[in-house]
Amino acid sequence: MKKVVGIILNNSKKNELDIKNIENKGDPHTAIASKYRLIDFPLSNMANSGIRNVAVMLGNYSQKLTEHIGSGKDYGLERNINGLLYLEEDYLTLQGLGTPNDLRDLLKNIDYLTNIKEEYILVSGSNFVANIDYKKIFNEECLEDCDMLLLYKKNDQKLRFVNQVVLNAKGVFEDIYYVTEETVVENLFMDTFFIKKEVLIQMLRAANRSGILCMNAFLRKVKREITIKAYEYTEFAYYIDSPKSYYEANMAFLDQKIWQQIFNVSRRLIYTKNSDLPPTAYGPRAVVENSLLTSGDEIYGQVKNSVIFRNVKILDNSTIENCIIGDNSIIEENVHLKNIIIEPNCRISSNTTLISSPENPMVIN
């Protein structure tokens, strides 16, 4: 993978036009699965695939993101030369005015892209959880006569307002477009593609000239001239674009099969920033069932089918069921929660009872 450089974009806001007013759960720094953040997945995947140079697009969340990623050391991406790099988003993106598959952010960094020595660029979004072996995909699909390789997956999450990849009867790439209606898309574009550096530069220059800053439009125009392939990713990959999908993704990790596919792949660990908290302490009357817990947690009450983030205290006589409890939160005595997302740093006072429906989990912050 010496030939490939990685770029991680933030695609979350583009799927989020409809739910402006609540915390955007698809941001790269969104915490997930007890101890990770969304950005950990594309970073770890690229690092594990042998990509040595990775650029992360910073946006409105740059402080949180740079604090979490740091030097990239935790991902093995700290190098004296190259390694991890930060890029800037376009002003319009910063203001949440980007369009689907917008090329603005890449265009803003065209100087950086032009100077890249690698032959291919792997562009990835940052609002999904998956453990992807990019090296395998690249070696199998990309090494010969391919200008661009788009990754898609079956839309088993039934997401709407997404980019649809269309194939012809022979399975050949036909089109990619943003679906604005309330129809369910079959092949979901994974915001991830390999592209020859020269093709990307050519695309960005054309976009700049024409003012049409949508990748979809460009691809439609040139699909006879360049070789575009589509690759179906069939392993577990879950998109986070709303509190609902956020809740579902966390709960999915309670399935040991999915957990294994993501966190127990030989040589493909998911990395994250260390917390240096002591291991989980269980009190004498703790009862815990089918749950994920991590460092710093102290459990005295009952926890069932839940995902507990770092440094959470659950005190005596409290029951937590089908919940997500964010970092540093304290659940006092005699609290009963069911189907609830507790944001980080919350304190739920004693004798509180909160129950919501699993289809529409309540978010407390």
Q: Which residues make up the interface to a copy of itself (CB under 8 A)? A: 58, 60, 62-63, 66-67, 70-73, 78, 80-81, 85-88, 91, 94-95, 109, 112, 274, 276
- 26 and 9 Cβ atoms separated by less than 8 Å: no
Give how many residues touch other proteins by CB under 8 A: 44
Phi/psi of residue 70, nearest 5 degrees: 60, -135
Q: How far apart are CA 48 and CA 266, in angstroms?
A: 10
Angle at 39 between CA 246 and CA 227, to 5 degrees: 100
Q: Tokens 């709960």 label which residue?
A: 251
73 binds other proteins (CB under 8 A): yes
Member of 4, 292, 331, 364 binding other proteins (CB under 8 A):
292
Cα(first)–Cα(last) distance of the chain, in Å?
43
Tokens of 24: 């955007």
Task: State the nearest-atom distance from the C-beta of 94 to a copy of itself, in Å.
Answer: 8
Give Cα 298 to chain centroid, integer Å: 28
Q: Tokens 């949440």 label which residue?
A: 96
Q: Of 59 and 125, which CB lies nearer to a copy of itself in the complex structure?
A: 59
- Partner from a copy of itself, other proteins, none contacting 214, C-beta within 5 to 8 A by type: none
Q: Of 111 and 145, which CB lies nearer to a copy of itself in the complex structure?
A: 111
Q: How many residues does the chain have?
A: 365
Task: State the nearest-atom distance from the C-beta of 75 to other proteins, in Å.
Answer: 9
- Partner from a copy of itself, other proteins, none contacting 263, C-beta within 5 to 8 A by type: other proteins
Q: How far apart are CA 218 and CA 216, in angstroms?
A: 5
CB atoms < 10 A from the CB of 181, how many? 8
271 binds other proteins (CB under 8 A): yes
164 binds other proteins (CB under 8 A): no
Burial class of residue 107, CB neighbours in 10 A (0-12, 13-18, 19+): middle
Closest by alpha carbon to 139, among 131, 149, 129, 130?
149
Member of 171, 277, 349, 358 binding other proteins (CB under 8 A):
277
178 binds other proteins (CB under 8 A): no
Q: Of 87 and 222, which CB lies nearer to a copy of itself in the complex structure?
A: 87
- Partner from other proteins, a copy of itself, none contacting 284, C-beta within 5 to 8 A by type: other proteins
347 binds other proteins (CB under 8 A): no
Q: Of 108 and 310, which CB lies nearer to other proteins in the complex structure?
A: 310
Phi/psi of residue 32, nearest 5 degrees: -155, 155
Q: Of 228 and 312, which CB lies nearer to other proteins in the complex structure?
A: 312
Burial class of residue 225, CB neighbours in 10 A (0-12, 13-18, 19+): exposed
129 binds other proteins (CB under 8 A): no
Beta bridge partners of 87: 57
Contact residues: other proteins, CB under 8 A = 2, 33-35, 73-74, 76, 78-81, 254, 256, 259, 263-264, 267, 269-272, 274, 276-295, 307-308
